[in-house]
Amino acid sequence: MPSETQLINLDVLATSVHGALEIEPVVGGFSPRRLPSWTRAQQADSDIERMASHTSGVSLRLITAATALGLDITFSRTSVRGQRPAQAASVMCEVDGRIVGHVEADEGTVIVTTDDQTSTTLPGGPSLVLLQLGGDGSREREVTVWLPQAASVTIHGGAADAPVRAADPTGALRWVHYGSAISHGWIADHALGPWPVEASRSLGWELTNLSFAGNAVLDPFVARVIAQRPADLITLKVGLDVVIDDAMTRRTFIPALHNFLDLIREGQPDTPIALITAFACPILEHSTGPMREETPELWEATPYKATQANSSLTLENTRELVAEVAAARSDDMLDVVDGLSLFALEDAPHLKDNVHPDQQGHDLIAHRFIGQASDPAATLGNLVGRLAARERSLS
């Protein structure tokens, strides 16, 4: 039977964090981060820092017989240019792999951003996240608490009606994914909504989601982070943010992608890498960035077509260039996955704001990714199969 409520040691909670690269001590607790602090000195502005603080794909994995668990958390959410309220912070809970609870919090700090990359912080207080775990308190179970995909968190402490300890490592396939707002799950419905999170749960993989909304532009410091993160499979979804920001031309994109791959290979010389080309986005297929907000929450491309070799890129251009870079490298463990096979032009009705998929779109991408990862005849499945064969030969 459950015992009296007891506090959970903060070190236990910090040790239980999965999917983050650094646990940053802060006043009154700690904050999981998806980029280590050394990258701050190399960032161009605060936007990627804010996105890295969001806990997309980050979870607490605990072992306990408790029937109820409470966490004291301060959430930090974003209001984009003040045009809409900040999205509620979503926390979801699993017990032995079964979803048992979903809490949404509107309290906490709100960061109001502006078009010129400045922001205003409206401080707020902590939330009590109370999760009912079920059971009768007689048997220990694995409890996974998924933190919000579109908010940052400071964890101050917790309590439960039975002892709690951090779960042991699972030994699952370690998957590192790099991508933009779609993979970040910036406008997904909840913490389990981003397609990489869905896919990893179904496949039983251990996900590190290095996807940063608006910031997948081949930053070298992110490549170094990937190089240092132990991985069995790396996937890099490249193209969308390069076009959205009008960040590169053919002249700069090709060496930037080669450099990104070179830096990863310095630390991960044999890890399978899948280069995933851009998902379908009709407004950017043959038009260029910078993208602009035609009406609130409805985006449009810049109204001209790229025609010269070194002019602004379209999504179609980036797919061609990704294939060109891959073909130029002598790398048997590198291959290209067609992003259109995961999200095609006919799926465009799922683009909520002309760019980012709704939750049904995320579900669709995850379903197709899972299918390809499980199919030895597919490019992705072939890479996974080669990894498994190599592990068998070493055992």
pLDDT tens, 27-80? 999 999 999 999 999 999 888 999 999 999 999 999 999 999 999 999 999 887
Average pLDDT, integer, range 306-316: 74
Q: Mean per-residue pLDDT for 130-137?
A: 95
Residue 1 — very low, low, confident or very high, per pLDDT cuts 50/70/90?
very low
The predicted structure's pLDDT at residue 298: 62
pTM: 0.94
27 exposure class (CB count in 10 Å sphere: 0-12, 13-18, 19+): exposed
Identify the pLDDT of residue 84.
63
Helix, strand, coil percent values for the chain (each to nearest 5):
30, 30, 35
pLDDT band at 341 (very low <50, low <70, confident <90, very high): very high
Token representation of residue 178: 């790099």
Write b or e for each residue in 339-371: b if 16 or more Cβ atoms lie within 10 A of its Cβ, otherwise e. Answer: bbbbbeeebbebbeebbbbbbebbbbbbebbbe
State which amino acid sits at residue 281: C
Report all structural domains of the chain as residue ranges with CATH numbers, in order of start.
6-166 (2.60.120.260), 174-394 (3.40.50.1110)
Q: Mean pLDDT over residues 302-327, rounded?
A: 82
User: So what's the pLDDT on residue 117?
Assistant: 66
Are the CB atoms for 223 and 216 separated by under 8 Å? no
pLDDT average, residue stretch 79-97: 83
- Residue pair 369/195 in contact (Cβ under 8 Å)? The answer is yes
